[in-house]
């Protein structure tokens, strides 16, 4: 009888030992993808092989790592996308142009509308009288880079600053004392560096809320419809008075003005903060 009990006890102990061994063997790297080599099982006869039961930080859910650096996007910083009031602001990029800018100014003047002109340095240098006319007629000025450099924001900080300052210098040479309170990156290709440097030079990074893509030269009716339907209170509308044939933009402008005025007050962006 004693012999049978001894054999039974040996069988129980042996079975328990096999069960314990099977549990420890389950702690494989595939079951714990976040475990490091230091967290591999030790020969200790601990009856707690489950990772969740271990107090070691290496076996608990690892804290999230620092984000991997990614290319800067619009969402990484703050841009000015509205007029700052319920009024709607018309903005014109890429000028001044000797053909299109005077005609745009004529349409605005005839309808008593003030707008914002985003000027390119090389165009300013070539047509300084048009800059003075823009200022004299009460419009707001915006820096749009020296030569419409799409990749400006990817340059070194020194080169970005030099480009912006050269453009401001040319504008002020044409219209001494005219405030330049905005910078718009060509193509809307913003980077954190461009935003930071623009602000350091006293310029707000000006984006837009409505882009009818008039630069693609769709029909005037299409441009007008896109603007009127897409604009909301406080909107900033992107248009062009240079950079190509602006016949359709010019033809669309009267309809844009009347369509927006039926719902909103048209304003120029303030040049004082």
- Read off the CATH number of the domain in which 247 is found: 3.20.20.370
C-alpha–C-alpha distance, residues 221 and 263, integer Å:
19
| Set 97, 185, 207, 240: catalytic member | 240
Residue 69 has pLDDT above 60, yes or no: no
Q: How far apart are the first and last CA of the chain?
A: 101
Residue 93 is among the residues annotated as catalytic for this protein = yes
Cβ neighbors of 118 (< 8 A, separation 6 or more) are 91, 92, 93, 94, 95, 142, 143, 144, 182, 184, 206
| Between 131 and 20, residue with greater pLDDT | 131
Q: What total of structural domains would you count in the chain?
A: 1
Residue 185 is among the residues annotated as catalytic for this protein = no
Assigned token pair, 173: 């040479």
In a domain, 154, yes or no: yes
pLDDT digits (tens, 9 = 90+) for 175-217: 999 999 999 999 999 999 999 999 999 999 999 999 999 999 9
C-alpha–C-alpha distance, residues 164 and 143, integer Å:
7
In a domain, 143, yes or no: yes
- In three-state secondary structure terms, 205 is strand
The torsion of the CA quartet 67, 70, 73, 79, rounded to 10 degrees, works out to: 50
Which of 193, 183, 201, 177 shows the shortest CA–CA distance to 146? Answer: 183
Where would I find the beta strands (DSSP E) of the chain? 88-95, 116-119, 140-143, 180-183, 204-205, 236-240, 266-267
Residue 240 has pLDDT above 80, yes or no: yes
Q: State the DSSP H helix or E strand holding residue 8, giving kind and residue range, or none if neither.
A: helix 2-25
In a domain, 36, yes or no: no
Asked whether 203 and 54 are in contact (CB, 8 A), the reply is no
DSSP 110-134: HTT---EEEE-HHHHHH-HHHHHHH
pLDDT digits (tens, 9 = 90+) for 86-98: 999 999 999 999 9
Which residue range forms the structural domain that includes residue 258? Answer: 97-267
pLDDT digits (tens, 9 = 90+) for 116-175: 999 999 999 999 999 999 999 999 999 999 999 999 999 999 999 999 999 999 999 999
- Which phi-psi region, left, alpha or beta, contains residue 59 (left: φ > 0; alpha: ψ -120 to 50)? alpha
| Set 93, 94, 214, 241: catalytic member | 93
Give residue for tokens 């702690």. 27
In a domain, 66, yes or no: no
In a domain, 70, yes or no: no
């Amino acid at each position: 009888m004693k012999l049978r009990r001894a054999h039974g006890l040996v069988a129980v102990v042996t079975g328990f030992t096999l069960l314990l061994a099977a549990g420890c063997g389950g702690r494989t790297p595939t079951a714990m993808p976040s475990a490091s080599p230091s967290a591999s099982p030790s020969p200790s006869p601990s009856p707690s092989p489950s990772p969740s039961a271990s107090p070691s930080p290496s076996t608990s859910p690892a804290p999230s790592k620092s984000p991997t650096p990614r290319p800067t996007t619009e969402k990484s910083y703050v841009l000015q996308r509205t007029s700052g009031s319920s009024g709607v602001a018309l903005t014109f990029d890429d000028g001044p142009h000797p053909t299109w800018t005077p005609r745009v100014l004529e349409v605005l003047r005839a309808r008593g509308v003030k707008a914002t002109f985003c000027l390119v340095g090389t165009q300013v240098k070539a047509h300084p009288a048009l800059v003075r006319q823009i200022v004299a007629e009460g419009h707001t000025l915006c820096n749009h880079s020296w030569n419409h450099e799409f990749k400006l924001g990817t340059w070194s900080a020194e080169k970005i600053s030099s480009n912006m300052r050269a453009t401001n210098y040319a504008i002020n040479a044409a219209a001494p004392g005219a405030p330049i309170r905005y910078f718009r990156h060509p193509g809307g290709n913003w980077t954190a560096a461009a935003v930071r440097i623009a602000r350091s030079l006293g310029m707000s990074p000006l984006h837009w809320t409505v882009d009818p893509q008039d630069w693609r030269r769709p029909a005037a009716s299409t441009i007008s419809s896109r603007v009127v339907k897409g604009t909301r209170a406080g909107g900033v509308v992107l248009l062009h008075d240079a950079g190509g044939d602006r016949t359709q933009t010019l033809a669309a402008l009267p309809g844009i003005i009347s369509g927006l005025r039926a719902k909103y007050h048209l304003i120029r962006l303030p040049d004082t903060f």
